[in-house]
Amino acid sequence: MKPDRPLQIISLWSSFLLGTLFHTQLGLMPLFHGRSVIVESQQSDQTLNGIFWGMLIFFVIPMLAIMLTAERSDRPYRRWHFGFTVLYSILNFSHLLADLAVRPIIANQIFLMGLLFAIGLKLNQVAWAWLREA
């Protein structure tokens, strides 16, 4: 039986988004134990605004990919989609490296980012197979 590539892609993107949400939630967990999570920012409000917009776009693109994958299967979309999966793997790897540079190292965040990177690599593999089927 031929694999249902769109279903695989939708489930991988969904897992990625849930992991991304938990990455943020995990960073806020100390609040529930009376600890501070305040980080003194050296960024201007304008720079932070750009960062927040970037984070929003980073989250919205997989949401759109989920919706579009359910509706479209043409070759141009598959090509666009594969390109974005590769971009996201590069960004996830960069984020993993950035988390490794934070002191002290927070092992559960590193584990989660490693898992998100692995999900991204699987997404690359499935998206590539889907592209080649077209």
One digit per residue, pLDDT tens: the chain, 134 residues? 889 999 999 999 999 999 999 999 998 999 999 988 887 777 888 898 999 999 999 999 999 999 999 999 999 999 999 999 999 999 999 999 999 998 889 999 999 999 999 999 999 999 999 999 97
pTM for this predicted structure:
0.91
Where b means 16+ CB within 10 Å and e means fewer, 42-57 reads eeeeeeeeeeeeeeee
pLDDT for residue 83: 98
Residue 14 sits at the vertex; the CA angle it makes with 63 and 10, to the nearest 5 degrees, is 80
pLDDT for residue 15: 98
